Chain A
Amino acid sequence: DIVMTQSPDSLAVSLGERATITCKSSQSVLRSSSNTNYLAWYQQKPGQPPKLIIYWASYRESGVPDRFSGSGSGTEFTLTINNFQAEDVAVYYCQQHSQTPPWTFGQGTRVEIK
């Protein structure tokens, strides 16, 4: 199974500043046949289900503000939130869907306001 490890576990960011979360996979999630990284990012606010924000490592889901961006390839990925807003307070998860089953998630990174 592919193990997903996020860092840090928690993060405090000032409003207007940048938040950066890293996700590492124990094996590559890059599908060579399509040159596509099968890596997604989700945002979960209290009392709500996870919400897809980034797919294929760097593609923003429709309706997601452009201050959210994803990057990386292979085994290392980054979620960046520029101009951090109060409504961005949440727990963020990465997920691989390259080698399945099982589908596996990172442990989550809690992002709060400093």
Chain B
Amino acid sequence: QVKLVQSGGGVVQPGRALRLSCAASGFSFGLYSFHWVRQTPGKGLEWVAVMSADGRKTFYTDPVKGRFTVSRDNSKNILYLAMNSLRVEDTGMYYCARDTTAAEREFDYWGQGSLVTVSS
């Protein structure tokens, strides 16, 4: 069955870095685009970034542009989110979520979430 298992996350100081991972199984990873979505008490669900199935296209929400980088290893079936220059407002639960090849559909499967806390 389809599984997205997340790892990473934790407590970091402002300005530091963190990397999240999302390991996929049960389907052909390389055929799907993937998103990162975060959930914060103040903003609810907020889309963060997307990477195309072939890894050639990425888009980011404005608040994370230049600080976050999404990548994928199709040989290992893993999606990553590298977060640099973290800010207090980046605190929240981060989810990876699957989309279609063209990234034009709803998100049909989600990871269990990774909690990121940015605090001094």
Contact = CB atoms under 8 A, between A and B. Distances in A.
A106 B95 CA distance: 17
A61 B46 contact: no
Give the size range of B's interface with the partner: 20 to 34
A49 B111 contact: yes
Given A104-B47, A105-B45, A105-B46, A50 B106 contact: no
Interface of B: 35, 44-47, 50, 59-61, 95, 103-108, 110-113
Contacts of B113: 49
Nearest to A104: B47
A107 interface: yes
23 contacts: A38-B104, A40-B106, A49-B110, A49-B111, A50-B95, A51-B110, A52-B107, A52-B108, A55-B106, A55-B108, A61-B108, A93-B44, A93-B45, A95-B45, A95-B107, A100-B103, A100-B104, A101-B50, A102-B61, A103-B35, A105-B44, A105-B45, A105-B46
Contacts of B46: 105
Interface residues of A, number: 22
B20 to A, nearest CB: 14
B74 to A, nearest CB: 22
A46 to B, nearest CB: 12
Contacts, number: 53
Nearest to B110: A49
A50 B104 CA distance: 18
B106 A49 contact: no
A103 B106 CA distance: 9
Contacts of A61: 108
Contact of A55 (B45, B105, B110, B111): B105
A93 to B, nearest CB: 6
Nearest to B96: A49
Interface in A62-106: 93, 95, 97, 100-106
B112 to A, nearest CB: 6
B28 to A, nearest CB: 19
Interface in A33-67: 38, 40, 42, 48-52, 55, 61
